[in-house]
């Protein structure tokens, strides 16, 4: 589990009317759909998911926590204690009691705050304060120190934290309409920390939006949910693969998200099969007679090459010697190919067929 984690909402797009859990959110790109809450880390990996509308639990220590805050507590319930995790969420989830309940388990948190959720908290500035002015107040609930900071940007921004306050100050760039130029504006430290770590769920949403698993017809509600979770699993696997591959492979050899999903789909489609062909025999014969020379055949993935199932050599006849052996370093034109992988390999003059199916990296 990573040290820095963020909680935010996600929409599974769905416009059908046969679902009681469907929500409408005008601020989202996909306005209609199911709302789920996602716990994501710095690497982009998703560590927890909860559907909107789940039953509410009673919070610990007798604290009164609203329903959005209950979501954060449930997602954080699986954290091991005494690890000093840092959790980030927005004002829809945040309240003083949520942060106190997390701090009692040594989970530190920060988030934007709606002022009416903190009783007695008010910020009084001088008349016409300049942009970048901020005030910080400290309050204590059940022995937990809470730091509330309000920063004057275009609009007042209020943050509540249990581990970071306003110092040391930083400088941020903001556009000035009067001078029509970017100026340096002072900002509290909590603004920089929150902005740096809050966007983890948005990052994973950008990955999930690419190369989605979809259907070409109107599908039932549960099919949409199932395909969305398939997409989440595949993207999570790619993020884990990319993190591990950075230590052993060159950057140019690491698969992109598209290539990884294509390889995964190919492996799942051919897993357990004995042949790479799924077309009718009559159609294959017709295509073989009318086909023209095309691009070089694509090599199958390692999962297919090394599964030791259905890799039978078939003869293509001496009159069809046109393709070169696909084994690295061999330039012969064999008369045999693998039935499942559908690539030409030597089996008489050299033993490329065996080496091709037992070598992990070609």
294 assigned to some structural domain: no
* Contact between 106 and 81 (Cβ < 8 Å): yes
Among residues 224, 251, 270, the one where a domain terminates is 270
Domain boundary among 254, 270, 286: 270
- Asked whether residue 203 falls in the same domain as residue 229, the answer is no
Considering the domain architecture, whether residues 89 and 77 belong to the same structural domain is answered as yes
Residue 8 lies in a domain: yes
> Domain check: are 161 and 220 in the same one?
no
pLDDT tens for 246-300 read 888 888 888 889 888 888 888 888 776 665 554 444 444 444 444 444 455 677 8
How far is 18 from 3, CA to CA, in rounded Å?
Answer: 40
In 3D space, the residue among 265, 242, 264, 268 whose CA is nearest the CA of residue 255 turns out to be 242
220 & 132 share domain: no
Other CB atoms within 10 A of residue 5 CB: 26
Q: In the numeric block, which tokens belong to residue 302?
A: 């390692």
Looking at the fold, whether 202 and 233 belong to one and the same domain comes out as no
Residue 219 and residue 195 share a domain: no
Do the domain assignments include residue 58?
yes
55 and 200 assigned to the same domain: yes
- Check whether residue 203 and residue 222 sit in a common domain: no
Q: Could you tell me if 215 and 203 lie in one domain?
A: no
The answer to whether residues 216 and 202 belong to one domain is: no
- pLDDT at residue 87 in the model: 93
For residue 213, is the peptide bond before it cis, meaning its omega torsion is within 30 degrees of 0?
Answer: no
**135 located within any domain:** yes
pLDDT at 216: 65
Return d(Cα 121, Cα 266) in angstroms, integer.
Answer: 58
Judge if 256 and 319 occupy the same domain.
no
Would you say 241 and 260 are in contact if contact means Cβ atoms under 8 Å apart? yes
* Within a domain: 338: yes
CA distance 191 to 208: 28
Rounded Cα distance between 227 and 224, Å, is: 5
Residue 291 placed within a domain: no
Q: Let me know whether 178 and 261 are in one domain.
A: no
| 59: nearest Cα among 80, 36, 83, 77 | 77
What is the number of domains present in the chain?
Answer: 3
| Within-domain flag for 255 | yes
Residue 250 is part of which domain span?
Answer: 209-270
Q: What is the 3-state secondary structure (H, E, C) of the chain?
A: CCCEEEEEEEEEECCCCCCCCEEECCCCCCCEEEEEEEEEECCCCEEEEEECCCCCCCCHHHCCCCHHHHHHHHHHHHCCCCCCEEEEECCCCCCHHHHHHHHCCCEEEEEECCHHHCCCCCCCCCCCCCCCCEEEEEEEECCEEEEEEEEECCCEEEEEECCCCCCCCEEEEEEECCCCEEEEEEECHHHHHHHHHCCHHHHHHHHHCCCCCCCCCCCCHHHHHHHHHHHHHHHHHHHHHHHHHCCCCCHHHCCCHHHHHHHHHHHHHHCCCCCCCCCCHHHHHHHHHHCCCCCCCCCCCHHHHCCCCCCCEEECCHHHCCCCCCCCCCCCCCCEEECCCCCECCCCCCCHHHHHCCCCCC
Which ranges of the chain have pLDDT less than 50? 278-294
Structural domain includes residue 277 = no
Q: How many CB atoms lie within 10 A of CB 346?
A: 22
C-alpha span between 259 and 267 (Å, rounded)? 12
Q: For residue 281, what are its two tokens?
A: 């025999």
Q: Which pLDDT tens digit goes with each residue over 166-209?
A: 888 888 888 888 888 888 888 999 999 999 999 888 888 888 88
Residue 302 neighbours by CB distance under 10 Å: 14
């Amino acid at each position: 589990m990573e040290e820095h984690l963020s909680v935010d909402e996600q929409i599974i797009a769905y416009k059908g009317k046969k679902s009681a859990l469907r929500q409408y959110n005008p601020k989202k790109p996909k306005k209609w759909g199911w709302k789920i809450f996602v716990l994501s880390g710095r690497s982009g990996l998703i560590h927890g998911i909860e559907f909107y509308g789940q039953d509410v639990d009673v919070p610990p220590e007798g604290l009164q926590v609203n329903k959005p805050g209950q979501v954060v507590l449930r997602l954080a319930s699986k954290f091991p204690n005494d690890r000093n995790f840092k959790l980030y969420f927005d004002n829809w989830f945040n309240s003083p009691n949520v942060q106190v309940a997390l701090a009692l388990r040594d989970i530190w948190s920060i988030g934007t705050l709606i002022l009416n959720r903190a009783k007695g908290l008010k910020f009084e500035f001088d008349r016409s304060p300049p942009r970048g002015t901020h005030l910080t107040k400290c309050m204590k609930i059940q022995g937990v120190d809470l730091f509330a900071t309000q920063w004057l940007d275009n609009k007042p921004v209020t943050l509540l934290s249990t581990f970071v306050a306003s110092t040391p100050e930083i400088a941020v760039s903001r556009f000035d309409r009067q001078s029509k130029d970017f100026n340096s504006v002072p900002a509290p430290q909590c603004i920089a920390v929150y902005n740096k770590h809050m966007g983890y769920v948005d990052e994973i949403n950008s990955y999930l939006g690419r190369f989605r698993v979809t259907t070409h017809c109107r599908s039932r509600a549960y099919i949409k949910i199932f395909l969305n979770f398939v997409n989440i699993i595949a993207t999570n696997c790619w993020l884990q693969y990319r993190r591990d591959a950075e230590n052993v492979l060159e950057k140019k050899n690491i698969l992109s998200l598209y290539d990884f999903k294509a390889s995964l789909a190919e492996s799942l489609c051919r897993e357990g099969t004995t042949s790479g062909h799924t077309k009718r025999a009559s159609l294959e014969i017709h295509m073989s007679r009318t086909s023209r020379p095309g691009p070089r055949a694509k090599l199958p993935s390692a999962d297919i090459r090394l599964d030791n199932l259905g890799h039978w050599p078939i003869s293509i006849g001496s009159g069809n010697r046109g393709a070169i052996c696909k084994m690295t370093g061999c330039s012969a034109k064999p008369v045999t190919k693998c039935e499942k992988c559908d690539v030409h390999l030597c089996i008489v003059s050299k033993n490329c067929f065996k080496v091709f199916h037992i070598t992990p990296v070609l």
